[in-house]
Amino acid sequence: MDKFYKKAREDLENKIKELTYEQDNSLLFYEKAIEVVLRKTAELKVFVLKTGFISEKEEIHFFKHVKPVFVASLIYHNAIYKIETKKPYGAKPIRKYLKKELKKLKRFFDNNLDFYMYYRSNNSFLDEKYFVRGKQDIQLCVDTVYFQSDMTFSTSHDYKVAKIMANDLIQVYIEDKLYKNTEQVELSKDMPRLNWTGTKASLIELIYALHYQGALDNGKNDIRKIAKYSERVFGIDLGNFYQTYLELRNRKINRTKFLDALREELLRRMGEQDEK
């Protein structure tokens, strides 16, 4: 059985590693990763229910050390997916949001301190109650999720172990994001503010050109996000930029007036410099 578990874990890690090379979009990566973990966990369940355990010791080992690895991966990827999809715009709102997410991890730690100490200390005197199916003890702080799970493939505390493992990874992820966010805020303080002195239509023309060319995040960002970012960077309110873009499209002549002017001015300056 150990060979099967080892191979299943290696397959899971390799599949997720492949996704990191295949997916440029981070949200799509987490969606695909969740699918992979669900599929591999289902395969693990089929094997366990078909094969069974030769001893209680083997059952404890599985629910304490094997299954939690797969479930932790699911919890982690799902948590990061939610964090990223709900993340606000702006350095300060993001920092506040991430700190709030860290507090959630702290609450779980505080609410499960006794089990944290038991698990982190590598104790085993309660393993028969924690990691053997059908031996739950309500007085040992059983999660509600246990009663909603398939008890043929769950014990009272295997999910708690997975949650601990996942929370460690989630904490590292959030703290890394906070560190980078703080750096961004500090850098922005030192950067001079640039004000857009051209027309709104000119900036909107440029935004759409950059977006369609794939010059910003390979063209995978929503145009609204690019517009909002440009408003913050250049200190301008673009208003209904969709409407302005439609007006640009409806021009009978010279649809790309600003872009053409940019090209002409750049070539003119280059020509002048060549003559010197």
Q: What is the pLDDT of residues 176-192, one digit of tens each?
A: 888 877 765 555 555 56
d(Cα 98, Cα 181) in Å, to the nearest integer? 10
The residue type of 189 is K
More confident residue, 180 or 46: 46
Does residue 4 surpass a pLDDT of 80?
A: yes
Query: What's the pLDDT at 186?
Result: 57
Q: Is the pLDDT of residue 112 over 70?
A: yes
Write the CA distances from 264 to 137, 258, 275, integer angstroms: 78, 10, 17
Give CA torsion, residues 71, 106, 122, 1, to 10 deg.
0
* 47 CB-near residues (< 8 Å, 6+ apart): 4, 8
Enter the tokens of residue 6: 């080892």
> CA-to-CA distance for 175 and 55, rounded, in angstroms?
41
